[in-house]
């Protein structure tokens, strides 16, 4: 059944939003932005910068039991803050490079952060071996690194299963590894070459990879997204692509259906609270949508958004409304020491 996604609220932040999370009352959001960490009141549009990293802030997650939010940044640090008064509780240098993506387990016990610098390892530009373990699993309560897990750089996405039993990470080369959280033992995974491009025009390097992942409700499968293969990766005109994999059997189950996609890098993925559909979005290069809702059972596209800006994160609130964040282009002319706002926040109502 087709759905209508109607925008009911929108406003801007000073800089692009790279990640976000909802706080406990669902009416307030923490936005991880290029210039710092913002608290955002969704109903009133009020926002203020409350903290920062030494570089871009890439991710934000909320731990409801402790009423703490955690951010990751391109400085390689994770920072814990009180959701009550924004006080810094602790900070920890987790990676020597940056924290590209950060995830929290549903039970609030664990954090996972991934990194990975793409350096050419040979004359064919295959990624060099990691200089540090690319996946770090931390005790969310005290910041202790419990496991340092190897992968092939660069690792761009991480997610916990809904039951907090598994953690999965995906990389530039389309390789996904899954570990048991309790033991740190690798228990499965798969490799898909459909998201990775080798540039033979202008850019002689690998680009693309898996940018976001979600476990299906039973935790036996993973949905991953990115962009289809291109001869010229700089063009950004690969297929808007998701794939669904049985990670225990390394078996492709389904993927974006024919004639239901345009072109562009897909960077955001989120499961609807009812677990009957999922949403994928990112940048638009060609076509008529850069955010779409898909039926989980059939894979059919059942609703679309054409936002006019790069989508970096989706959040669903308890009412089933879709919160979309990202950034629109680059800042305009510096006018008396201030750039024009280019961070975007939108809220959509979904109806049959």
The mean pLDDT value for 240-262 works out to: 97
Q: Is residue 338 part of a domain?
A: no
The mean pLDDT value for 267-275 works out to: 97
Tell me if 69 sits within 8 A of 23, measured CB to CB: yes
Q: In this structure, what are the phi and psi dihedrals at residue 234, rounded to the nearest 5 degrees? A: -70, -15
Q: Is residue 68 part of a domain?
A: yes
Work out the mean pLDDT of the chain and round it to a whole number.
Answer: 95
Q: Is residue 334 part of a domain?
A: no
Beta strands 17-22 and 68-73 are unpaired
Name the domain count of the chain.
1
154: preceding bond cis by omega (within 30 degrees): yes
Domain of 128, CATH number, reads 2.130.10.10
pTM for the whole structure: 0.96
pLDDT band with cut points at 50, 70 and 90 for residue 35? very high
Q: Is residue 333 part of a domain?
A: no
Predicted local confidence at residue 232, as pLDDT: 78
Closest CA to 228 of 203, 272, 205, 262: 262
Tell me if 18 sits within 8 A of 312, measured CB to CB: yes
- Structural domain including 39 reads 4-328+343-351
pLDDT digits (tens, 9 = 90+) for 37-89: 999 999 999 999 999 999 999 999 999 999 999 999 999 999 999 999 999 99
Q: Is residue 337 part of a domain?
A: no
Closest CA to 261 of 232, 221, 233, 294: 294
Helix (H, G, I), strand (E, B) or coil at 233: helix
pLDDT digits (tens, 9 = 90+) for 88-137: 999 999 999 999 999 999 999 999 999 989 998 988 888 999 999 999 99
Tokens read off for 335: 């006018």
Predicted local confidence at residue 231, as pLDDT: 78
Tell me if 62 sits within 8 A of 24, measured CB to CB: yes
Q: Is residue 141 part of a domain?
A: yes
Tokens read off for 290: 């850069």
Q: Compute how many other C-beta atoms are within 10 angstroms of the C-beta atom of residue 121.
A: 13
Predicted local confidence at residue 200, as pLDDT: 77
């Amino acid at each position: 059944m087709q759905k209508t996604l109607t925008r009911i609220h929108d406003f801007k932040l000073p800089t692009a939003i790279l990640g976000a999370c909802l706080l406990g009352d669902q009416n307030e959001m923490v936005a991880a932005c290029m210039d710092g960490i913002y608290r955002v009141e969704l109903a009133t549009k009020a926002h203020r910068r409350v903290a920062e990293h030494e570089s871009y802030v890439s991710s934000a997650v909320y731990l409801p039991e402790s009423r703490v939010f955690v951010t990751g940044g391109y400085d390689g640090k994770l920072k814990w803050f009180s959701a009550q008064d924004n006080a810094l509780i602790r900070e920890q240098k987790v990676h020597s490079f940056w924290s590209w993506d950060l995830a929290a387990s549903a039970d609030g016990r664990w954090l996972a952060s991934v990194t990975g610098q793409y350096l050419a390892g040979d004359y064919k530009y295959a990624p060099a071996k990691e200089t540090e373990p690319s996946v770090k699993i931390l005790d969310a309560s005290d910041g202790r690194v419990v496991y340092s897990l190897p992968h092939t750089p660069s690792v761009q996405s991480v997610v916990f299963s809904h039951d907090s039993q598994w953690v999965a990470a995906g990389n530039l080369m389309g390789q996904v590894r899954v570990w048991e959280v309790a033991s740190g033992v690798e228990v499965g995974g798969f490799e898909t070459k459909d998201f990775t491009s080798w540039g033979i025009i202008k850019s002689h390097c690998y680009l693309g990879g898996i940018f976001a992942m979600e476990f299906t409700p039973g935790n036996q499968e993973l949905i991953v997204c990115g962009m289809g293969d291109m001869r010229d990766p700089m063009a950004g005109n690969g297929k808007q692509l998701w794939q669904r994999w049985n990670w225990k059997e390394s078996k492709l189950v389904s993927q974006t259906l024919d004639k239901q996609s345009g072109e562009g890098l897909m960077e955001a993925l989120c499961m609807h609270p009812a677990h009957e559909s999922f949403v994928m979005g990112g940048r638009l290069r060609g076509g008529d949508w850069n955010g779409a809702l898909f039926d989980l059972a059939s894979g059919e596209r059942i609703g679309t958004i054409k936002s006019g800006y790069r989508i970096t994160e989706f959040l669903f609130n308890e009412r089933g409304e879709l919160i979309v964040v990202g950034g629109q282009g680059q800042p305009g002319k510096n006018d008396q020491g201030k750039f024009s706002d280019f961070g975007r926040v939108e809220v959509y109502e979904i109806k049959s």
